[in-house]
Amino acid sequence: MDPKQLRALNQCHRDILRDLDIDKQFLLSLYIDNLITEAQSKDIEHETSRRAKASKLLEVLPRRGPSIFPQFVNKLRRDYSWIAGKLDTEYEKAQKEMPKDINSKLIDVINNQLCPLVYGVDDQNSLLPSETHPGHLVNQLSDTVHTLQYRSYRALGISTRDPATTYMSLPRLIDRKVHSLQNSFNEMKSSLSEEKKKTKTNVPVDKKSTKEVTKMKKELDKMKEANKKLESSLKGKNKKIQSLSCENLTLQTQNRHLQDRVEELEKEAMVYHRGAMITEWRM
């Protein structure tokens, strides 16, 4: 049954349970007119009370299709005209009210579910007023769904021009993206594992290199110590050289003084010798 028929049937639910007497003859007529199947007729007949049988019938009828409703109403007109009349009235009311109800419910779904999903809860510009025309409502619904599709594809890194993805549902596309990310993650994990193994393999080489570096550092420290000793030794030798230089200067000065003294003594000796020769010559 369609929603309007179901609504009319639900509105008359109490009346049917209260007044409808389902006997074997009534069930047979329903079966002959193909309103119910033989199995359904037996299920209803197996119920122990009149009210239970009516309840079972109301459970079966909605699953029999939209053509069953007018046939059931006509079946009630002869013996249960007040129920048939109320069903007609409720159905007419449902026909008048359902478009407004559907329009209102669609606006509610768009504003409270679809728009927050697509534009976010803080976007008030995308919300529809309560008196939106059905034509505009359909266009707005189509645009919002299209925007959702575009943003979903963009978030998943999928091109809307790819024909392979056009025929896939959004859950399948998300599932495919998740699998792709998982594969990438597993590849990265495997690559890191291989690098880790290589690093572990190279550990002995690194230890050997570390030993060589330590040995070179020790040799360098020894060379620094030897260099310090050489510098200290050079400083001591420089001091000795300076001391010897000073002594040399002193000796040179003393030597000059001695040479001058020798020259003076030689001059005095010459003068004395001349004087002695003159004295002998005079004698």
**What integer pLDDT is reported at residue 204 of this predicted model?**
54
Q: In this structure, which topology does domain 3-96 adopt according to CATH?
A: Death Domain, Fas (1.10.533)
- Among residues 86, 136, 81, 97, which one has the least CA distance to residue 3? 97
Q: Is 129 left (phi over 0), alpha (psi -120 to 50) or beta?
A: beta
Predicted pLDDT of residue 165: 64
pLDDT along the chain (283 residues), means of 10: 89 93 92 93 92 93 91 92 94 76 72 80 74 69 79 76 66 78 84 77 61 85 85 78 78 82 85 79 71
pLDDT at position 70, please? 94
Is-above-0.75 flag for pTM? Answer: no
Locate 143 and state its tokens.
């645009």
* pLDDT attached to residue 179: 81
C-alpha–C-alpha distance, residues 84 and 74, integer Å: 7
- pLDDT of res. 164: 64
Distance, in Å, from the CA atom of 282 to the CA atom of 203, rounded to the nearest integer, reads: 116
